Structure 1
Amino acid sequence: MRQTGDADGPAPTGRAARELCTRAERLLAAARAVLEDRARAVDAVRAVLDPLLDSLVGGELGAIPLARLKDVTEGRLRVNALEQAGFTTVGEVHATSRYALRQVPGVGAATADRTLAAAGQIARAVRDTVAVRIDLEHPDDTTTALVIALHRLVEAGADVRRAADAASALAERLDPLLEAAGPAGSRVRMVFAGSRARGRAREALGSLRTAVNGAAEQELPMLFGQVSVDLLRAPASPAAAWVDFELRSAEYYSLLAELSGSGPDRDAAEGFLPAETADRVRALLLDETRLRVSLRGYQAFGARFAVAQKRVIIGDEMGLGKTVQAIAALAHLAARGGTHFLVVCPASVLINWTREVRARSTLTVRPVHGAERQEAFAEWCAHGGVAVTTFDVLHTLPEVAEAAVVPGMLVVDEAHFVKNPATRRSRAVAAWAERVERVLFLTGTPMENRVSEFRSLVRQLRPELAPAVSSTHGAAGSRAFRRAVAPAYLRRNQADVLAELPALVHVDEWEEFSAEDLAAYREAVASGRFMRMRRAAYAAPAASAKLERLRELVGEARGNGLKVVVFSYFRDVLATVGEALGEDVFGPLSGSVPAARRQELVDAFSAARGHAVLLSQIQAGGLGLNMQAASVVILCEPQVKPTLEHQAVARAHRMGQVRTVQVHRLLAADSVDQRMVDLLARKDRLFDAYARRSDLAETTPDAVDVSDAELARRIVEEEQRRLPRPAGASGRAAAGAGDAAAPS
């Protein structure tokens, strides 16, 4: 049978054949090189990781009594002789050689072999459960070596896996083709080759041309070259590696779990789905070629669940990466030919969605929002990509029946917003959901606690399933509920799947100014008042985009029974937040509150059952108070002194914290917030890392932070140049510098 490559034309001969084979050989060499480079980088990690894992396994085995060996062999192994010889734990047996065991009276060759086999079986089971924890605050030589080795692979990024997968496939394909095509490189060899060999050579040349041209279209030679360069860079310095680990620790731990083979229990990672559903989802091969990020195992399963089950709800607990799972599902469909996708979300997360799609994938994203939403929608219809719009805008767009295209997937974030079918937003979502084959609802609210809400949502996705969902399923417990609704619902909890992650996850929440926010901000810029610019996003509480997102985050934490600490530099911002949240709010802690009273408020907050919110001025709560009852930290604005943020977060992320701490920093795009983030990011991160870990920095932030007045002046001047000043307004950047000290 002739290969598909023959469709490109007749197979080349002579010089053209030789040139084609040379191109294929170079491509094969590049593929093998990138595989070797990755293998060396992985070996460097394993050289440090394996002894660490062996030590952890040894520690666990040292706590397992010798009698467990009998359980493994169902009582067939007698350990009396070992006990009489002084063995007490499985660890002692596992560390002993076969020869040494045979020296024990009463232990023959067969018994020694069975004993070591049983100990090895337990050791393998233990190894599947242990996980290396990297202590950022107490680094030692071993963990530093591990972080440096991991840094090489993390820095190279998700392209490493894509390059390795493509290189493996190419090597497997090109090797036999080059061998078969060999005679075609010489007319003499072709003359003396048999007819069958000549036929195989021509077919191989056709297939080689297809493979080489396909690799060029996918830019694989460039990918292989870049990944090899990245993997061959000199090792990072210890300080640089530790700083990078702190900034993106989740990527380090994801890679660590992959290389160590450790991770969450599979049933937990798969949401305790029934076996038949889990098997069907697991069988789907997720195409990650359009992704720019490596997925954790449970995230990849979530993306496959969305694709395989077609119309589902992913209700993972907050902090588990529902957004990246949705993007992975879209990227898979795009890699398989999909062109149009639609995301509907609250206005408060629209910017986050556009940023995340761009950062995590190669997909084109088109915000459909604001005054030019109709033009943006028409552009999406014509050219495709991921359209991101809001609940309030969706109903103003042409209905799916009128649209020129039907999206390959509809994603609805914060799907509990459409639980009431009578609302306009719910009707608009339902109209699109009815016509789209694949629909993915995302919500962090546990549906087993709100069965009526779930029934309403699932009615839009799987109407046939809704009548079977009753309140008794929720009353029977979360696992019983999840099994009952398995075809349409997947939820994982942090405790189930983040056992090996560090207890700190940072999320920047980018918001877009509302009209009222922008008016207040422009006025502050025109007057040159830096501090007023920083809190302009809260000047009109009823229309504040930041405040709306804060309410959503607190609401999701309430649904999961989590405690929240809200920090701001400004007392008036905290007052606004307190009024917006209402009940279950403690504080605010501020400089005017006596130290003893501050501790009383923290104690009362910690003692409250379930969800509660503590408000704190960042200067008052950032030092000396332990808030480890909280697992969600919200920063109302970025700080001029980064150490203030680190110290405040450290109040919750410290010894005694048993949950992953989520840090949400509220930021306004195209504003003082973005200027501060950009300017402070350009500081020397290594110096900042050293200083922050010193005792001096803990007590004297001014020693390492940038000048308030310098930063304020630069930002005010930049913003006054960027934004036109209203007629008659006055103000100067110097005024902002003097304004910088007042935390009112």
Structure 2
Amino acid sequence: MGREERDVVARGARLAEAARNVAGDHGRAVEAVRAALAPIHDAAVRRELDAIPVARLQDVTEGRLRLGGVEQSGLRTVGAVLDAGAYRLLQIPGVGRRTVDQMLAAARRLSEAVHETVAVHIDVDRPEPGTTALVVALQVLVEAGPEARRAVDRAGALSQRLEPLLADARPVAGRFRMLLAGPERKARALSAVAELRPLVDEADRGRVPELFAQASVDLLRGPSSDLAAWSDFELRSAEYYSLLAEISGAAPDAAAAEGFLPDEIAERVRAQRLHDAHRRVSLRGYQAFGARFALAQRKVILGDEMGLGKTIQAIAVLAHLAAEGQSHFMVVCPASVLVNWTREIEARSALRTMLLHGPDRRDAFADWKERGGVGVTTFDALRGFPAPDGGEIGLFVVDEAHAVKNPKAKRSQAVARWAERCERALFMTGTPMENRVAEFRSLVGMLDRGVAESLDDGDALAGSVAFRRAVAPVYLRRNQQDVLTELPSLQHTDEWEELSASDAEAYRDAVRAGNFMAMRRAAYLRPERSAKLERLREIVEEAGENGQKTVVFSNFKDVLRVVEEALADGAPVFGPLTGAVPAARRQQLVDDFAAAPGAAVLLAQIQAAGVGLNMQAASVVVICEPQIKPTVEHQAVARAHRMGQVRPVRVHRLPATGGVDERLVEMLARKTRLFDAYARRSEVAEATPDAIDVSDTELARRIVEAEQVRLGTTDGAHVERPDGDRLRRTDGSVTVKP
């Protein structure tokens, strides 16, 4: 037995020690988080229990308890019952041992449920010693990053293989040990050395010792100052909360996180491996499942609600395929988010990006074809590029895929050609398919013709479970409330305003003219006496006094111009961000707004800003007028209330009483109830006959005619379409003017 064998054992021992060290360093960092979290979590549990009325114990015991005497004794909450204990409860007149036992058992079950489900919210505006300690402890792990986690995982896997081999190879470490070992022990030692040699050689070639050493350095570097930790938390709160959920075990409901997929598909997805070598961001559990779903099913629609990180999931899929040797990828998206896509890919992965847009797009496309990477282009530009031959594209990503639901549109046809010729495709949309099953079927048909052909209106009519089962092979959707337990609160307020005399006069003129869109913005046409504008100023000023940023949405450019002039003397105003603003400029406006110190205002046309742009710097949202479709408002609000938001978001909608706004709010409430009852669960919108939206034109006609009757101005000769084309009334009917 020579020096070479002893050297192999020594190298293996050093590698095993480094693996143990990095695992220990990581374990201590995790324990520091748990220690800081425990008192905060216990206090949150206590608050929840103190808020649950004692009557809830009836629900747990199916009404068997008599609790009148307990409440009369002053024990009005579940927390108070637990504090009282058996002895105090037995002193209450009419309460016997059996009742006490049942009551305490029910209270403990509720306590256990609260303990498992309560979410810890970190208030960035009111830091306390406890939350500061938690943020500082988390920062160590966030700063160490995904590389440290990879090192720990690698260390665990290596240790499992190294430790038994080193134990068997121990006699080789010394000549006398080997001489004293029996034949069987010697044979086992030589066999262990033979297995150790390739292990340590492979680790050296992969620079694993350096990986372990760097991870240990990062984990032992120690926390920075409290101020630096809080600043970092504001910038990367999603990563902090992701780690917190992982360490605390407060993961979302597994079925919800997996989109309620059938068991056979969910099992296949869970078994899918996910490489992370080219990825620079940690994934939440539901995000890793989404990436695996796309890989396992090959051609899918990811329909996660906005704010859940669909882009990160797509990048995880790209990084995995790049690790497997794929070299060419294509992302097609609206022009407004081109810059955001290139930034995200460069920040979250090691992949090369190529912007295929603008006058030089053909040259850029040729360069991408030659060198590879992730090409990022628009729907319109895609039409000018030749569709690929089979197998050359690793993944075809379509963002805001609802934009290609019309099969007759040229952009839809171009996307369909590319999807057909790519082995893998990932369509993404946070917009539920809210009109008809036929439109959803059109998207599905680009990915899996068999599923599309098997899908009919009957599946939707049968309810959400039947529909989910029908589309499960190609469709995955999760909702914020199911998987983002740490998301700050969202408060909606309708700020009803009485029209001023000047507003009312402008509104009556618009009704008389039958101009639906003028009716909707009449409250801003005479800004010097606008009641809505005055309230908007007050909201923005209050936010500014609290150092909060505000985003103001309107459907109308001229309303945004009025608002801009009205706010000129206050906090910095950015925008307006409209459909006419180039994509790169839109992103720059949002970046400048986010970077502005203290209070600031961003003005945005609601349709233009509802796609792709992240506005979580804003914690106050103002919607100048009710929108025709509930999803338009939901999407706009979700740009601020999304993963990464660290403050509660307040939404102020400014409707006026007695006119078009009141009628729209009533219709929106009805649509939203239907939408929540059906679409959020079934992933397509109202498919039952009484739930399908009337067209915008029909809605406008009804409202205008009703208002003309109410105000006695029925001499109008036309009704304005919502998109600006005028409708002309002839013999009591309504026709589109040529």
Scaled to the shorter chain, the TM-score interval is 0.5 to 0.7
Q: 2:430 aligns with which of 444, 463, 480?
A: 444
Q: 1:299 aligns with which of 263, 271, 287?
A: 287
Does the C-alpha gap of structure 1 residues 182 and 193 become closer, same or farther in structure 2, counting only changes over 3 Å?
same
CA distance in 1, matches of 2:298, 2:594: 46
Give the alignment's Cα RMSD to 1 decimal. Answer: 4.6
Residues 1:653 and 2:607 are matched in the alignment = no
Match of 2:140 in 1: 152
Instruction: Choose 356-365 or 109-118, whichever is displaced more.
Output: 109-118
Structural mapping, 1:622-637, within 5 Å:
635=589
CA distance in 1, matches of 2:489, 2:569: 18
Q: 1:163 aligns with which of 151, 171, 180?
A: 151
Task: After TM superposition, give the deviation of residue 35 of structure 1 in Å.
Answer: 1.8
State TM-score, norm by structure 2: 0.65
The residue type paired with residue 416 of structure 2 is A
CA distance in 1, matches of 2:9, 2:100: 57
The residue type paired with residue 469 of structure 1 is L
CA distance in 1, matches of 2:63, 2:239: 44
Task: After TM superposition, give the deviation of residue 96 of structure 1 in Å.
Answer: 6.2
| Contact 2:594-2:617 within 8 A present in 1 as well | no
Structural mapping, 1:82-101, within 5 Å:
89-95=77-83
Residues 1:617 and 2:564 are matched in the alignment = yes
Residues 1:418 and 2:404 are matched in the alignment = yes
The residue type paired with residue 564 of structure 2 is Q
Does the C-alpha gap of structure 1 residues 465 and 650 become closer, same or farther in structure 2, counting only changes over 3 Å?
closer
Does the C-alpha gap of structure 1 residues 67 and 493 become closer, same or farther in structure 2, counting only changes over 3 Å?
closer
| Contact 1:178-1:204 within 8 A present in 2 as well | yes
Deviation track 1:56-107 (CA, whole Å, cap 9, x = no partner) reads: 2122223445565576567899989988987554324544678988999999
Instruction: Choose 356-365 or 646-655, whichever is displaced more.
Output: 646-655
Match of 1:326 in 2: 314
Residues 1:360 and 2:348 are matched in the alignment = yes
CA distance in 2, matches of 1:209, 1:392: 56
Instruction: Choose 153-162 or 65-74, whichever is displaced more.
Output: 65-74
Q: 1:470 aligns with which of 451, 456, 459?
A: 456
Deviation track 1:525-583 (CA, whole Å, cap 9, x = no partner) reads: xxxxxxxxxxxxxxxxxxxxxxxxxxxxxxxxxxxxx99xxxxxxxxxxxxxxxxxx99
The residue type paired with residue 155 of structure 1 is E
Deviation track 1:405-446 (CA, whole Å, cap 9, x = no partner) reads: 523322222223333334444344333322333211112221
| Contact 1:263-1:500 within 8 A present in 2 as well | no
Instruction: Choose 35-44 or 338-347, whichever is displaced more.
Output: 338-347
Deviation track 1:301-337 (CA, whole Å, cap 9, x = no partner) reads: 2112211222111122322211111111222333445
Instruction: Choose 100-109 or 282-291, whichever is displaced more.
Output: 100-109
CA distance in 1, matches of 2:534, 2:476: 40
Task: After TM superposition, give the deviation of residue 267 of structure 1 in Å.
Answer: 3.5
Does the C-alpha gap of structure 1 residues 149 and 464 become closer, same or farther in structure 2, counting only changes over 3 Å?
same
Match of 2:393 in 1: 407
CA distance in 1, matches of 2:198, 2:518: 66
Does the C-alpha gap of structure 1 residues 314 and 106 become closer, same or farther in structure 2, counting only changes over 3 Å?
same
Task: After TM superposition, give the deviation of residue 263 of structure 1 in Å.
Answer: 4.4
State TM-score, norm by structure 1: 0.65
- What's the secondary structure of 1:420's corresponding residue? coil
Match of 1:598 in 2: 533
Match of 2:708 in 1: none
- What's the secondary structure of 1:400's corresponding residue? coil
| Contact 1:459-1:466 within 8 A present in 2 as well | yes
Q: 1:643 aligns with which of 597, 622, 638?
A: 597
| Contact 1:341-1:384 within 8 A present in 2 as well | yes
Task: After TM superposition, give the deviation of residue 164 of structure 1 in Å.
Answer: 1.9
- What's the secondary structure of 1:344's corresponding residue? strand
Task: After TM superposition, give the deviation of residue 171 of structure 1 in Å.
Answer: 1.8
Instruction: Choose 265-274 or 139-148, whichever is displaced more.
Output: 265-274
Deviation track 1:244-277 (CA, whole Å, cap 9, x = no partner) reads: 1222222222222222222444343333434443
Does the C-alpha gap of structure 1 residues 104 and 215 become closer, same or farther in structure 2, counting only changes over 3 Å?
farther
Match of 1:241 in 2: 229
- What's the secondary structure of 2:117's corresponding residue? coil
Aligned residues with identical type, % of pairs: 53
CA distance in 2, matches of 1:29, 1:110: 57
The residue type paired with residue 220 of structure 1 is V
| Contact 1:292-1:361 within 8 A present in 2 as well | yes
CA distance in 2, matches of 1:583, 1:171: 72
Residues 1:227 and 2:232 are matched in the alignment = no
Does the C-alpha gap of structure 1 residues 221 and 587 become closer, same or farther in structure 2, counting only changes over 3 Å?
farther
Residues 1:200 and 2:188 are matched in the alignment = yes
CA distance in 1, matches of 2:440, 2:398: 14
Task: After TM superposition, give the deviation of residue 236 of structure 1 in Å.
Answer: 2.1
The residue type paired with residue 445 of structure 2 is R
CA distance in 2, matches of 1:332, 1:342: 15
- What's the secondary structure of 1:209's corresponding residue? helix
The residue type paired with residue 137 of structure 1 is D
The residue type paired with residue 292 of structure 1 is R
- What's the secondary structure of 2:567's corresponding residue? helix
Match of 1:516 in 2: none
| Contact 1:619-1:644 within 8 A present in 2 as well | no
